[in-house]
Copies of this chain bind each other. A is one copy, B any other.
Amino acid sequence: MQLKASFRNDYSEGAHPRLLQALVQASAEQNAGYGLDRHSARAAGLIVARCGQPQAQVHFLVGGTQTNLLAISAFLRPHEAVIAVESGHVATHETGAIEATGHKVLVTPHVDGKLTPDGVRTLLAANTSEHMVKPRLVYVSNTTELGTIYSKAELQALRALCDAHGLLFFLDGARIGSALTAAGNDLTLADIAALTHAFYIGGTKNGALLGEALVVVDPALQADLRYLIKQRGAMLAKGMVVGAQFEALFEDDLFFELGAHANAMAQRLQAGLKAAGTALLIESPSNQVFPVLTHAQIDGLVQVTAFERWGPYSETHAVIRFVTSWATRPEAVDALLTAIKNLVR
Contacts and interface: CB of A to CB of B under 8 A. Distances in A.
A29 interface: yes
Interface residues of A, number: 73
A337 B321 CA distance: 60
Give chain A's interface secondary structure class: loop
A99 B97 contact: no
B228 A78 contact: yes
Q: Closest 6 CB pairs between A and B?
A: A14-B27, A66-B233, A79-B227, A96-B104, A12-B30, A11-B237
A149 B237 CA distance: 23
19 contacts: A13-B29, A15-B27, A23-B209, A62-B233, A63-B237, A68-B233, A78-B228, A79-B228, A95-B132, A95-B227, A95-B228, A97-B233, A99-B102, A100-B232, A130-B227, A130-B229, A131-B230, A210-B237, A232-B233
Contacts of A132: 92-93, 95
Interface string A1-41: 00001101101111100001001101111111100000000
A253 interface: no
Q: How many copies does the complex hold?
A: 4
Interface stretch (A69-77, A155-163, A256-264, A291-299): A69-77
Contacts of A241: 14, 209-210
B102 A224 contact: no
Contacts of A13: 27-31
Q: Which of A30, A94, A238 has the most CB of B within 10 A?
A: A30
